[in-house]
Structure 1
């Protein structure tokens, strides 16, 4: 993998397909198409979109077909925020999520970042992936997430020095 697919070239349809397959609707964490499009219109937001082999989907080549996963991140001076990461369930446990994060870290370093941050609900099973690649919990927001049934859950902030 190398380099991000920049916003005007990315395949929003493929991102949405991955997200709809990957995110459990019970948690309400998936973004809608407008949120993705608006984010990608910002010059400091990047997406990496990969196929089932973990290779970047090249939007310049008019790539189409099944995307296996993506990571969406926002750059700020000295840091990046991992906004979303998703891998289709049928492609999980193949190293795609780890490869996406490692590529994001490499690209973030090239953009001058020293740390990557992310935030997730406390019971998110992706925490094992984050720990595996070196993220460490650095904060907690009590009762941050509000779900449709009225329950609340803490958010955990993770940081990774790169």
Structure 2
């Protein structure tokens, strides 16, 4: 159910671990604009990895470079996409869609009946999520706090996995 992309970059997606955090942080640095406050810190990422139901998926290109990643948690029949990032240099190349496919497949395999995510209001990735079938489920007012002092709403989205 991947959306169309401007150019396609072949990748492979594998489960990641704490050893991949340097690469994950590099992708995050090159994908999330700090003005919006969406990115996580290294300690936040490291702290969630050992929790039950957490999966870090790492997308590597043919040169073994990490080009994107996703972080999800599945618990009590629901799965949440906590982060999805693609390096700025290769955005709109199909990597985000492939990571989203992986999130849905992994969630279903772990027994999730409902999938959730949140996205900053105005984030262009919203179109990819909607094309995939996610629909708005709520709004978190002033959820993101950017480094520039701006505050931004988060849109929560959901998809039935069955």
Name the structure with the higher strand share: 2
Asked if 1:145 is matched to 2:144, the reply is yes
Asked if 1:33 is matched to 2:42, the reply is yes
Name the structure with the higher helix share: 1
Q: TM-score under structure 2 normalisation?
A: 0.83
Count of residue correspondences: 151
Match of 2:3? none
Bigger CA drift: 91-100 or 143-152?
Answer: 143-152
Q: CA separation in 1, counterparts of 2:24 and 2:59?
A: 10
Contact 2:34 2:147 in 1 (8 A): no
- Shift in alpha-carbon separation, 1:6–1:70, aligned structure 2, 3 A: closer
Q: Structure 1 residue 139: deviation in Å?
A: 0.9
Aligned residue for 2:122, secondary structure, equals coil
Q: CA separation in 2, counterparts of 1:87 and 1:151?
A: 23
Match of 1:60? none
Q: CA separation in 1, counterparts of 2:50 and 2:80?
A: 16
Aligned residue among 25, 48, 51 for 2:57: 48
- Shift in alpha-carbon separation, 1:133–1:25, aligned structure 2, 3 A: same
Give deviations 1:79-102, integer Å, cap 9, x for gaps.
Answer: 101000000111111111011111
Q: For structure 2, which runs of at least 5 residues remain unmatched after alignment?
A: 1-10
Match of 1:82? 81
Q: CA separation in 2, counterparts of 1:97 and 1:80?
A: 18
Aligned residue among 29, 32, 37 for 1:23: 32
Q: Structure 1 residue 155: deviation in Å?
A: 1.6
Q: For structure 1, which runs of at least 5 residues remain unmatched after alignment?
A: 54-63
- Shift in alpha-carbon separation, 1:50–1:106, aligned structure 2, 3 A: same
- Shift in alpha-carbon separation, 1:2–1:79, aligned structure 2, 3 A: farther
Aligned residue for 1:68, secondary structure, equals strand
